[in-house]
Amino acid sequence: MADSVAVKPRDAVTEPARGGHRSTKRSRREARAAYLFLAPWFAGLLVITIGPIVASLYLSFTDYSLLEEAQWIGWDNYVRMFTEDPRFLNSLWVTTVYVVVSVPMQLAFALALALVLDRGLRGLSFYRSIFYLPSLLGGSVAIAILWRKVFGADGLVNAVLAVFGIQGTGWVAHPDYALGTLILLHVWTFGAPMIIFLAGLRQIPSSYYEAAAVDGAGPLRQFRSITLPLLTPIIFFNLVLELIKSFQSFTQSFIVSNGSGGPADSTLFYTLYLYLQGFRDYDMGYAAAMAWVLMLIIAGLTGVNFLASKYWVFYGDTK
């Protein structure tokens, strides 16, 4: 998980060299022991991760129902996806809207709260825990069910709206709003990026602000000229992470729409459609092909992200 990637002070990374020349033999032996201890992990990686990945690449070129042997059909699955399957394109569209809207909103929200918490509030750790809580819960089944209740026709949201005389609709089950409720659910899980932002804010030397204040810079100017540039690596890190994570969102849509992606396919996430193809419609070959397309999309996006980062991410130590 991302949360453990706290930003360490830079000098802590370089460990003081211990023994110098004396121990090449010993270090070789230590390396061997290290590999030995790593071996189970490598075996697991090979058998549980890399093996299935290779197998799924093969399966993506087959017609495979799970119940019969896979039949090689070449590029058919990939061709079908882009030429004959409007639901595939729809699921791609739904997911893209979800990612493009929810990720920036979530990061902005996380940053705003991190700035507030960075003011040195009393009971900071308490607030930090409270705000972090949704991140732990957000992807869970229980919260998705809760969401269905809160945004239902007789839910909490409509009860509040009724106080103001507004007659709400069934938000989770209306094709125009259902995706919106899922986006809100995602934004609500701002805790993880918030914690990372907080750690990032703590890294910015207070002397910069003092100097800026002496020069007469107001809070807004300080934020724009000091906080934001120095925080860009953190923003970049959060952006990459959240983009990848939200493209793979599954639980929210699966639970809120009761496994259908409904109403009228308005919450049909890419991964949900993949799951339905593989496990309900007995078309595992197609599902495997979809998984590879998703991987390429995410890899492509992350690549673009890294390329673009050259133009806006500012590392203090690069010249």
- Binding residues for another protein (CB under 8 A): 29, 32-33, 36, 39, 65-68, 148, 152-153, 169-175, 257-260, 262-265, 276, 279-284
Torsion sign, CA atoms 279, 281, 283, 286: negative
Structure-block tokens of residue 46: 């090979």
Q: Which of 264, 314, 317 is nearest to 10 (CA)?
A: 317
Q: Which is nearer to another protein, 90 or 232 (CB)?
A: 90
Q: Which is nearer to another protein, 203 or 260 (CB)?
A: 260
Q: Which is nearer to another protein, 74 or 216 (CB)?
A: 74
Contact status, residue 242 vs residue 103, Cβ threshold 8 Å: yes
State how far the alpha carbon of 232 is from the alpha carbons of 24, 131, 223, 239, 284, in Å.
Answer: 41, 22, 12, 10, 41
* Residue 77 amino acid letter: N
Helix axes 124-137, 191-203, angle to 10 degrees: 140
Least distance in Å: CB of 84 to another protein?
8
Block residue for tokens 């309900």: 280
Least distance in Å: CB of 249 to another protein?
19
Q: Which is nearer to another protein, 173 or 192 (CB)?
A: 173
Q: Which is nearer to another protein, 198 or 291 (CB)?
A: 291
Least distance in Å: CB of 286 to another protein?
9
Least distance in Å: CB of 298 to another protein?
24
Phi first, then psi: give them for residue 16, nearest 5 degrees: -65, 130
Torsion sign, CA atoms 59, 64, 67, 71: negative
Q: Which is nearer to another protein, 242 or 283 (CB)?
A: 283
* Segment holding 7, helix H or strand E: none
Least distance in Å: CB of 71 to another protein?
12
Q: How many CB atoms lie within 10 A of CB 117?
A: 19
Contact status, residue 179 vs residue 266, Cβ threshold 8 Å: yes
CA distance 247 to 262: 18
Q: Which is nearer to another protein, 63 or 118 (CB)?
A: 63
Least distance in Å: CB of 210 to another protein?
56
Torsion sign, CA atoms 234, 240, 243, 249: negative
Least distance in Å: CB of 105 to another protein?
24
The set of residues, in sequence order, having a beta carbon less than 8 Å from that of 29 and lying 6+ positions away, is none
Block residue for tokens 């909103």: 105
Helix (H, G, I), strand (E, B) or coil at 282: coil
Least distance in Å: CB of 206 to another protein?
50
Q: Which is nearer to another protein, 109 or 282 (CB)?
A: 282
